[in-house]
Amino acid sequence: MTDDESLECGRTVESVCETVDSEPDAHQRDCPYCGEVRERLKQLDRLAREAKEADSSLEIEPHVRRRIVDFARSNLRRGADIPVHREPAATVSFSEMLIARTARETVDTFPGFTARRCRVRTIATPDHGHQILGLSIGVVMAPDAVVENLDRNVRDAVIDAVARKLGAHVAEVDFTVEDVHYD
Ligand SMILES: [Zn+2]
């Protein structure tokens, strides 16, 4: 699991995800990092389509599913699965990317704060019950934002949003103010 979503070129995996269905822009055409992620996403998409077709013909082919899981694990590094709920019969997994995105979107709803990167870590791995997660979020703030709000409001909102939308249990959220942004 890597510790941030930025590529070596400074763009994010998410920016590539969002544009994967359209033509690459000038940067993406020349950038090996963006290009690599783009290729991986396309490959993942192909594998997912194969699985879907196998499913709809009611022939669930385990090898297709296996390939997708293996591919996702080994190649799409930012999408590492994190099991968030463990029960004897079921493990629900959410990707690190999804958890990080939910956390960032929540931070962004607070005026004056913009989330940059979000690292997800597992704090404890119980045999049963909820996996407990910790988040480290880098934040850019406006000069007039009240930094105490991170502790007063934003942390609880992030914990609440991840629980409500994903059912994941976040116990710790650390914020790092990485920059002050003047418009
Ligand atoms: Zn790039």
In a shared domain, residues 70 and 95: no
Note whether residue 170 is domain-resident. Answer: yes
pLDDT value of residue 64: 59
Domain co-membership, 110 together with 166:
yes
Whole-number Å distance, alpha carbon 113 to ligand 1 midpoint, is 25
- Centre of ligand 1 to C-alpha 35, Å, is 7
Do 174 and 100 share a structural domain? Answer: yes
CA dihedral (29, 118, 162, 169) in degrees, to 10, reads 130
Residues with Cβ–ion distance below 5 A, ligand 1: 9, 11, 31, 33-34
Instruction: Name the 3-class secondary structure at 145.
Output: coil
Same domain, 87 and 130: yes
Torsion (CA) 75, 78, 80, 81 in degrees, nearest 10 = -130
Q: Could you report the per-residue pLDDT of 68-102, keeping only the tens digit for each?
A: 555 554 544 445 556 655 555 555 667 777 888 89
Mean pLDDT of the chain: 77
- On whether both 126 and 106 belong to a single domain, the answer is yes
Residues 86 and 174 in one domain: yes
Q: Are residues 134 and 172 in the same domain?
A: yes
> Which residues constitute the domain of residue 40?
13-77
> What CATH code is carried by the domain that includes residue 130?
3.30.70.1350
4 domain-assigned: no
Q: What is the mean pLDDT of residues 162-180?
A: 87
- Whether residues 105 and 163 fall in one domain: yes
Residue 144's contacts (CB-CB under 8 Å, 6 or more residues apart) are: 112
Q: Are residues 85 and 172 in the same domain?
A: yes
Beginning with the edge strand found earlier in the chain, give each strand of the sheet holding 91-95 in spatial order: 91-95, 81-86, 129-130
**What is the CA(34)–ligand 1 centre distance, in A?**
4
Number of domains in the chain: 2
Angle between helices 62-75 and 32-56 in degrees, nearest 10: 160
According to the model, what pLDDT value does residue 169 have?
85
Same domain, residue pair 71 and 137:
no
pLDDT at 163: 86
pTM score: 0.54
